[in-house]
Structure 1
Amino acid sequence: MDEETPRVELTPAAGDLLRRLREMHGPLMFHQSGGCCDGSAPMCYPAGEFRTGGSDVLLAELDVEGVAEPVTFWMSRGQYAAWSHTRLIVDVVEGRGSGFSLEAPEGVRFLIRSRVVGG
């Protein structure tokens, strides 16, 4: 993937939801573990609430219009190895996701869509 291609991007709906969540919870972060149950659903937490470490990769610092600080996007190293050739697009769909992610009470959930890039 070339340096000009963003590794992670947001749909307008995801940006809108992040603005609302930021107002309620303060600075935000994403983490995607690649677990079996919500493997395509990034979890949104208050920044720093999910502890990252050597088994995680920082993929992006997402600028969200109207939000003062970037929203970091972390992924487990194993998941990154499988998805390193893709552009990840954070979207929002109706339905409940994980109870640990901040959007769960809103009746929607974040979802990753992906596109293969480069070759």
Structure 2
Amino acid sequence: MKVEKVTATDAALELIEKLKRRHGPLMFHQSGGCCDGSSPMCFPEGEFRVGASDIHLGSIGNSPFYMSKDQYEYWKHTQLIIDVVDGRGGMFSLEGPEGKRFLTRSRVYSDEERKALQEEA
């Protein structure tokens, strides 16, 4: 059983495709706070520097999604579900001018999913 650590809603995937047409390949990083709160941030691929303290959780819309290792420790028991809502998001994230913002929702893994994730590790 393959367990996805990050997924996206249809609405988020539609916005990702729109942004890819405008900006080319994209990447995401789950912000841990500071200037833009704790929202998923969308960048042109390679514009955000991923470091040794970041982990690749998977991809949404064929775009890589990263989170800091420290923050992942708090979220590791949940699947991240990236959604989109109306409103202004992070000032550095590409969706801002669209009048939309990406939003992270989550759900707790089932016992079966947790077991599969432990076997992967």
Q: Normalising to structure 2: TM-score of the pair?
A: 0.86
Secondary structure in 2 aligned to 1:9? strand
- Which aligned pairs between 1:5-44 and structure 2 lie closer than 5 A? 5-36=3-34, 37-39=36-38, 41-44=39-42
Say whether 1:115 aligns with 2:107: yes
Superposed displacement of residue 32, structure 1: 1.0
Between Structure 1 and Structure 2, the one with more helix by share is 2
In the alignment, the residues of structure 2 paired with residue 101 and residue 38 of structure 1 have an alpha-carbon distance, to the nearest angstrom, of 12
Superposed displacement of residue 113, structure 1: 0.2
User: In the alignment, which of 48, 57, 60 is matched to residue 59 of structure 1?
Assistant: 57
Superposed displacement of residue 34, structure 1: 1.4
In the alignment, the residues of structure 1 paired with residue 11 and residue 81 of structure 2 have an alpha-carbon distance, to the nearest angstrom, of 11
**Letter matched to residue 107 of structure 2:** R
- Which aligned pairs between 1:24-103 and structure 2 lie closer than 5 A? 24-36=22-34, 37-39=36-38, 41-62=39-60, 64=61, 70-103=62-95
Give deviations 1:31-65, integer Å, cap 9, x for gaps: 013115521x1000000000001110100023x3x
Identical pairs, percent: 55
Give structure 1 regions of 4+ aligned residues with deviation exceeding 6 angstroms. none
**Letter matched to residue 85 of structure 2:** V
1:31–1:73 Cα contact (<8 Å) kept: yes
Q: Determine which structure has more spread, i.e. the larger CA radius of gyration.
A: 2
Structure 1 residue runs of 5 or longer lacking an equivalent are 65-69
Structure 2 residue runs of 5 or longer lacking an equivalent are 112-121
Q: Normalising to structure 1: TM-score of the pair?
A: 0.87
Superposed displacement of residue 100, structure 1: 0.2
CA RMSD of aligned residues (A): 1.2
**Letter matched to residue 77 of structure 1:** K
Alignment: residue pair count: 110
